[in-house]
Amino acid sequence: MPDKDYFPRRSPLATGLACRCPRCGRGALYTGFLTVAERCSVCGLDLRKADSGDGPAVFIILILGFLVVPMALLVEARFAPPMWLHMVIWPPLILGGSLAMLRPMKGVLIALQFHHKASDSGTVDYD
């Protein structure tokens, strides 16, 4: 296995959005939809301690709220559609947006943890 100094620093934003290993930028970060791989298949980075917690969900709620609420108010003010139409338009948009943003947002937060060597205990968690 190559020395960890061999890998150049990667952008946490680029590797996170691509859902790739934060160290090498090539290995897959996930084994399932949101299941983080135990190790990077390319560089062998131990990803078992990578935990983004509720951060991605909080950011997604704030981002979608910032985007969807003004759109819903604009549609209501401009067209005054019946309430059932609002119930047909906005929930699928919110659900689809949430699912589309969840993997990349979790990847960004995991990459930021790696980049800043963050941990719960104050010790370095990543090799």
Residue 96 predicted with pLDDT over 60: yes
Section 90-94 average pLDDT: 97
Q: What is the pLDDT of residue 126?
A: 58
How far apart CA 101 and CA 20 sit, in angstroms, is 15
Quick: pLDDT tens for 50-88: 889 999 999 999 999 999 999 999 999 999 999 999 999
Quick: pLDDT tens for 9-58: 899 999 999 999 999 999 999 999 999 999 999 999 999 988 899 999 99
CA-wise closest residue to 50 among 42, 40, 60: 40
Q: What is the pLDDT of residue 117?
A: 87
Residue 89: phi, psi to the nearest 5? -80, -55
Q: What is the pLDDT of residue 61?
A: 97
Section 78-103 average pLDDT: 97
